[in-house]
Each structure stands twice: as C-alpha cells, then as structure tokens.
C-alpha cells in the first residue's frame, strides 16, 4: 500500500504546527504520512523572527502571545520549551488624548473602560461623549443586528463617534491594523456582536467579560530567546522526524491528477503528488493556487491585508522617561501632529514588558506604524520613517536627543483584514475545497494571534489524519 502523502504550502507558524501534528505531535507516530512543507521565503516562521541586536534577542514581529488561550502553551510543552517561557512583567496602557497621556483603567475590557465613571475619570473625552456612554448604561438603544456587522457600526450606535474612534479604534483597530467601520464583529470580537443582538446595555455586557481579578495567569507570554526560537525549534523537530522542509520554493498551482494520488502540487521545477494539501498561505494566494479546481474559493481573493512597520528605538535612560505604569501607549488615528496626523499608532515599552530585554541605563521601545488605509509609512525611506517616528516619540513621551540605536522592520501586507462577512467567505471556500482534500489554515482564516494560528494548523492536520484513516 502506498504511503499517504500530505503537502503543506506555507512555512509560517500555522504550517509548521500542522506538520508537527501530522507527524505525531507530542508523540512521533510510526504510521505518519509522508509530509512535505514548502515555503517561498528563505526562512521559516513568517513574522516570528528574532535577531541578535545590542546584546538582546529582539523580535521583529509579535513580541508576545495571549497566554490565556491554550494553543501556544500546549505546543511549547509538546516541544519541551516550557522552561523558556517568560510571562509579561507589567500591565496596563495609556491613551494619548488631547495632547496628554491618559491611563486606561486597570479593569478595561479590550481597552474599553467598564463604566461611564471610569471613562470620565480617565480624562480626554468631552462631556457629551461621557453622557452617551452613561445613557447606554441606563437607557440603552435597541440595536437591530443580523448575522454580522462592523465593530464601528455597533459601538457608534451605542456610544457615539468620539468613544468609537478615540477609544475603541486605537485598541481593536490597532491589533488588526484595520478600521472598525470595516472589521467584522463576528470574526474579530464575537462577544460584541452577541451583546448587540441580545440587547440591553452594551457596556454592561462587555464589562461582564473582564477576567476575574483573582486570576493568577498573566495575560501574555514570550520566550527568553525570542518568539523566533519557536519556528526554529519546530523546524529542527520536523527534520528529525523525516519531514521534507523546502524553503525558497514558490508553489505555482495545485491540480487534480488521475490515479492513486488525487492531487499534485507544482513549483517551477518539481511536482509533488499528494492525497491531501494544507494551504497555510495568504487568502489571495490560496484562491490562486486552487483556481483550476473550483471557483468556490474565489471569495478568498477579496480578503485584504494591511502593511505595517515596527521601529525599535533604544534610548539612554536619561533621555526617555516612561509613564509610571503600563506597557505602552495607544494613539488615535486622527491625532494632530505638525500640520498632519500622527503616523505612529502605538508605542510598546518592550523592556518593561519582558525582563530578558532589560539593560541598566537603557530604555527599549517600539513604534508601530501602518493601517489598511494609511500608506504614508510605506512611501517613506527607512531614514525618513525613522526621523518622523523619533519626532513623534519626542512629542508623546518627551524623549530628548536621538536614540542610541534603531531597527526598522517592515511587514508588507502582513495583517489580514476580517471585513464584515469574513466568516461566511471562509466557510464557503472550505466547503468548496473539502471534497478535493484541501484545507485552509492560518491567520487569514481563523484569527490573527499566534495561539489562533497554531490551533488552526493543528486542527487542519487532525482533519487530514481523519480523512486518511489515521485519526484517533
């Protein structure tokens, strides 16, 4: 009997997690299918990349992951990396409103204060904005919401434009590098949609979601050698298990073939037969790769992605004094700056969050630039972008002088946008691809965070194993 063959296209964390699960997960299996993973870039891991910089392990993409979701922690345990876990060492954040830093209440939910009193005491909002929130608490407006709606539509109806764009947009829009008037509540913030459909006070419904104050589990975690050490470890394990890992090769198409292997995965110079294929690729890429098989996945081509840049800045401690608490600052999109608006959407205090990044006499921060409809940073050279960011940091944090060093990292089209109807588009594509033995995995489909991507990859692998008769 021919050994089953599975091809994974895409070597980000979802594709790597899928290959790990196919090969047995925590316990390597003797009856594992033949597994081939193909990645177009020269390296694996996508944005999970770490470099040695100024005596530190500096992450160039995400610097942490949500530790209250189980998928990433489970994978780290399976790989024997739990001893390298490092939990976040600070909490809280500030908003830059009306030219001043405003501390978000500690019990905020997704950056949203839990009461009109908390919003008022935070400062920076008009009396009418606070009144709109108080009205929602006491005399909420009925919302008519269907299967999906934009986050902006829901929160603007309940709390008005000012709260929507100065509080909700910086946090939720910032995580996605998107705009709340486009982002799907169903896919990005399901409890918000559920609360709006249920009726009653939206703020009170969200306040009930706040984690228990007695919880001892920190919200976020990282690795002492940087998150880039995770894909490196995964790749080593996969190669030890006989998985063929190919980098620097672009898949051109996935097509049907007659005979024992129903599928063929083609690059410029190879053809790999397969019984099943997992596409851990950007949504438009997935749509293109299967275009010869079905038109049922064409909706994936409409899933857009935003570009972003992360600028790491190292200051002497004498030149930069951070707020007394919190891990960063959120900056609303329309915040004025020197005849323009701020380019920076958020600042992260990296060495306050992570002990492994701390050095005496130095302060390490990161500026985040880029939204789906803001391409100014993309049009600047690295030098021009750095100059602009340093000027904005001086305005927001009062930084003096120039940084000791800096690192500019760009991620072109790296953040998928979950527009209204996203879940329906993905479900439709999956239904069209399932008869062919093709599955989708990763951030364009099941959530942009690291745990969500890992879970997506491992679930796709489990579905393949069941299809091949290897399920538990």
In a domain, 175, yes or no: yes
Domain count across the chain: 3
Of 208 and 454, the structure prediction assigns the larger pLDDT to: 454
Mean pLDDT is lowest, of 2-6, 257-261, 392-396, 468-472, for: 468-472
Q: Residue 114's domain is classified under what CATH number?
A: 1.10.3110.10
Q: Residue 388's domain is classified under what CATH number?
A: 3.90.660.20
The token pair at 193 is 């949609």
Same domain assignment for residues 385 and 310: yes
The bridge status of strand 271-274 relative to strand 263-267 is: antiparallel
pLDDT computed for residue 285 by the predictor = 98
The bridge status of strand 276-279 relative to strand 5-9 is: parallel
Same domain assignment for residues 296 and 427: yes
Q: Residue 443's domain is classified under what CATH number?
A: 3.50.50.60
Q: Are 198 and 102 in contact (CB under 8 A)?
A: no
Q: Mean pLDDT across the chain, nearest whole number?
A: 95
Q: Are 20 and 75 in contact (CB under 8 A)?
A: yes
pLDDT digits (tens, 9 = 90+) for 157-172: 999 999 999 999 999 9
How far apart are the C-alpha atoms of 152 and 138, rounded to whole Å? 21
Q: Are 196 and 154 in contact (CB under 8 A)?
A: yes
**Half-sphere exposure (CA, 13 Å, Cβ side) for 180?**
27
Task: Taking the CA atoms of 189, 195, 197 and 201 in sequence, report the sign of the dihedral they define.
Answer: negative
At 211, the pLDDT band (50, 70, 90 cuts) reads low
Q: Residue 332 belongs to what domain range?
A: 304-416
Distance between start and end Cα atoms, the chain: 21
Is the pLDDT reported for residue 295 higher than 60?
yes
Q: Are 172 and 163 in contact (CB under 8 A)?
A: no
In a domain, 399, yes or no: yes
Mean pLDDT of 241-266: 97
pLDDT digits (tens, 9 = 90+) for 34-64: 999 999 999 999 999 999 999 999 999 999 9
Same domain assignment for residues 36 and 119: no
Same domain assignment for residues 375 and 439: no
Mean pLDDT of 6-32: 96
pLDDT digits (tens, 9 = 90+) for 311-343: 999 999 999 989 999 999 999 999 999 999 999
In a domain, 94, yes or no: no
Rounded-to-5 percentages of helix, strand, coil across the chain: 35, 25, 40
Task: Taking the CA atoms of 433, 150, 140 and 209 in sequence, report the sign of the dihedral they define.
Answer: positive
pLDDT computed for residue 111 by the predictor = 81
At 472, the pLDDT band (50, 70, 90 cuts) reads low
Q: Are 184 and 421 in contact (CB under 8 A)?
A: yes
Same domain assignment for residues 145 and 162: yes
In a domain, 387, yes or no: yes
At 114, the pLDDT band (50, 70, 90 cuts) reads confident
Same domain assignment for residues 124 and 177: yes
In a domain, 51, yes or no: no
**Half-sphere exposure (CA, 13 Å, Cβ side) for 10?**
26
**CA nearest to 12, candidates 415, 471, 467:** 415
How far apart are the C-alpha atoms of 289 and 252, rounded to whole Å? 6
pLDDT computed for residue 214 by the predictor = 44
pLDDT computed for residue 185 by the predictor = 97
Phi, psi of 422 (to 5 degrees): -60, -50
Is the pLDDT reported for residue 431 higher than 70?
yes
CB proximity list for 268: less than 8 A, separation 6 or greater? 249, 250, 252
Phi, psi of 229 (to 5 degrees): -75, -20
In a domain, 227, yes or no: no
In a domain, 261, yes or no: yes
Domain stop point among 394, 416, 438: 416
Q: Are 195 and 206 in contact (CB under 8 A)?
A: yes
Q: How far is CA 47 from CA 5, 224, 231, 247, in A?
A: 28, 17, 10, 15
**CA nearest to 174, candidates 93, 107, 115, 88:** 93
pLDDT digits (tens, 9 = 90+) for 184-196: 999 999 999 999 9
In a domain, 219, yes or no: no
How far apart are the C-alpha atoms of 183 and 448, rounded to whole Å? 13
Same domain assignment for residues 408 and 309: yes
pLDDT computed for residue 153 by the predictor = 96
């Amino acid at each position: 009997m021919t050994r089953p063959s599975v091809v994974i296209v895409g070597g980000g964390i979802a594709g790597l997690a899928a290959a790990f699960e196919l090969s047995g997960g925590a316990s390597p299996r003797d009856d594992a299918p033949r597994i081939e993973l193909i990645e177009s870039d020269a390296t694996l891991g996508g944005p999970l990349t770490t470099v040695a910089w100024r005596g530190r392990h500096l992450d160039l993409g995400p610097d942490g992951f949500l530790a209250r979701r189980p998928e990433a922690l489970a994978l780290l345990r399976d790989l024997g990396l739990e001893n390298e876990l490092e939990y976040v060492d600070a909490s809280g954040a500030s908003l830059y409103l009306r030219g001043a830093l405003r501390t978000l209440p500690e019990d905020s939910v997704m950056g949203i204060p839990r009461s009109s009193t908390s919003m008022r005491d935070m400062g920076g909002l008009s009396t009418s904005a606070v009144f709109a929130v108080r009205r929602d608490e006491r005399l909420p407006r009925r919302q008519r919401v269907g299967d999906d709606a934009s986050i902006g539509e829901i929160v603007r109806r309940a709390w008005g434009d000012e709260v929507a764009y100065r509080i909700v947009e910086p946090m939720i829009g910032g995580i996605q590098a998107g705009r709340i008037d486009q982002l799907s509540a169903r896919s990005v913030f399901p409890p918000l949609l559920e609360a709006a459909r249920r009726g009653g006070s939206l703020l009170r419904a969200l306040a009930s979601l706040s984690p228990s104050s007695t919880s001892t589990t920190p919200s976020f975690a990282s690795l002492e050698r940087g998150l880039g050490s995770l894909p490196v470890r995964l790749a080593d394990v996969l190669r030890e298990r006989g998985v063929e890992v190919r980098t620097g090769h672009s898949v051109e198409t996935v097509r049907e073939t007659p005979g024992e292997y129903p599928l063929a995965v083609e690059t410029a110079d190879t053809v790999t037969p397969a019984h099943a294929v997992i596409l851990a690729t950007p949504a438009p890429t997935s749509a293109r790769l299967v275009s010869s098989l079905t038109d049922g996945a064409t909706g994936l081509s409409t899933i857009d992605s935003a570009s972003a840049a992360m600028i790491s800045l190292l200051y002497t401690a004498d030149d930069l004094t951070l707020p007394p608490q919190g891990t960063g600052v959120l900056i609303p999109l329309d915040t004025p700056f020197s005849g323009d608006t701020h380019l920076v959407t958020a600042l992260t205090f990296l060495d306050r969050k992570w002990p492994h990044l701390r050095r005496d006499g130095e302060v390490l921060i990161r500026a985040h630039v880029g939204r789906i409809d803001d391409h100014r940073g993309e049009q600047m050279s690295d030098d021009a972008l750095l100059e602009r960011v340093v000027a904005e940091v001086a305005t927001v944090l009062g930084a003096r002088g120039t940084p000791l060093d800096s690192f500019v990292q760009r991620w072109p089209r790296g953040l998928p946008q979950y527009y209204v109807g996203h879940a329906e588009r993905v479900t439709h594509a999956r239904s069209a691809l399932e008869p062919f033995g093709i599955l989708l995995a990763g951030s364009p489909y099941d959530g942009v965070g690291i745990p969500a991507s890992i879970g997506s990859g491992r679930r796709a692998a489990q579905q393949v194993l069941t299809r091949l008769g290897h399920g538990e």
